[in-house]
Structure 1
Amino acid sequence: MRLDLALVRLRFVKTRSLARAMVEQGHVRINGLRTVHPSHAVKAGDVLTLPRGSSVLVAEILTLPQRRGPPSEAQSCYHVLDQIGRAP
């Protein structure tokens, strides 16, 4: 699945154009490597590192959702490994 589509379906961003811009600006890492290609393929087992407001989220993809469903469905598709810089 394309990275920009995965970011939308996992509900990390609201729209595919926002996901595309975030990737093209170099804000997303896959398995620790920065990518600027929204079409980069992602799969289950990949680790994403991306900005979330004033913090950085590190999450492992467990499964790739077939649609942009409710938040609870999206959250069951990934596991948060770390969130750096969150407010107490």
Structure 2
Amino acid sequence: RSTAPPAPTTTVAPVVTQPIPANGGTVTVRCEGTTVSIVAANPNGGYVVDVRDPGPREVEVRFKSKDNTSTVKASCSAGSVVPKVQESGKGG
């Protein structure tokens, strides 16, 4: 007649994975609590990837071409991805 002890109650941080599109490509990031990491960085044609910051507080990825640089930053807040995308093209 033994009963299993109650399972300990632990708060598990939600894990959220979200793609962030930019002109130069797409960065897929994962938030686990307040920790952010890069899952994938896929450049569009003509762009190269430059990972500036892999986390864990913020990630920054740049996609560079001869005419444009797409800067994708992301952080985590309350278990959600907070994306920031900046485009800096040359010329008008």
Structure 1 and Structure 2 fold alike (TM over 0.5): no
Structure with larger RCO (C-alpha < 8 A, sep 6+): 1
Give the TM-score category using the shorter length: 0.3 to 0.5
Higher strand share: 2
